[in-house]
């Protein structure tokens, strides 16, 4: 059996990232070091990682593409994302494969 365990999401501000994900998902996650904040997404860990806050001398580029989350309350999450000031780059839409999504950066 194979399952996805952890996704590293490089961030430039660990406080801002942890507050953002706590506000949109309604779960606080856990600070595991000064530059790492983990959010359990149903058995897969979203690991927000700020190397500078962890005392590392290197930086990481942002992820090159999207990270998709499955939620049971898409409209609620969409509204909470807009409340954070994040402007969706695609409104809630139904895709040809039957999935309903929205995108934001």
Summarised one tens digit per residue, pLDDT across range 4-57 is 999 999 999 999 999 999 999 999 999 999 999 999 999 999 999 999 999 999
| Predicted local distance difference test score (pLDDT) of residue 98 | 85
Name the residue with higher pLDDT: 32 or 60.
Answer: 32
Angle (CA) 80 63 50, round 5°: 80
The fold adopted by the segment(s) 1-64 is 3.30.720
pTM attached to this predicted model? 0.85
Query: Which residue ranges make up each domain of the chain?
Result: 1-64, 70-105
Four-residue CA torsion sign, 76, 77, 82, 87: negative
Place of tokens 């001398």: 57
């Amino acid at each position: 059996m194979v399952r996805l365990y952890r996704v590293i999401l490089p961030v430039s501000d660990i406080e801002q990232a942890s507050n953002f994900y706590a506000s949109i998902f309604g779960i606080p996650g856990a600070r595991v070091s000064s530059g790492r904040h983990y959010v359990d997404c149903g058995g897969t860990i979203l690991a927000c990682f700020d190397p500078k806050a962890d005392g590392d001398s290197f930086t990481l580029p942002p992820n090159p593409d999207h990270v998709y989350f499955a939620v049971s309350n898409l409209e609620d999450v969409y509204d909470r994302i807009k409340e954070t000031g994040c402007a969706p780059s695609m409104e809630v839409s139904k895709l040809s494969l039957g999935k309903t999504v929205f995108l934001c950066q």
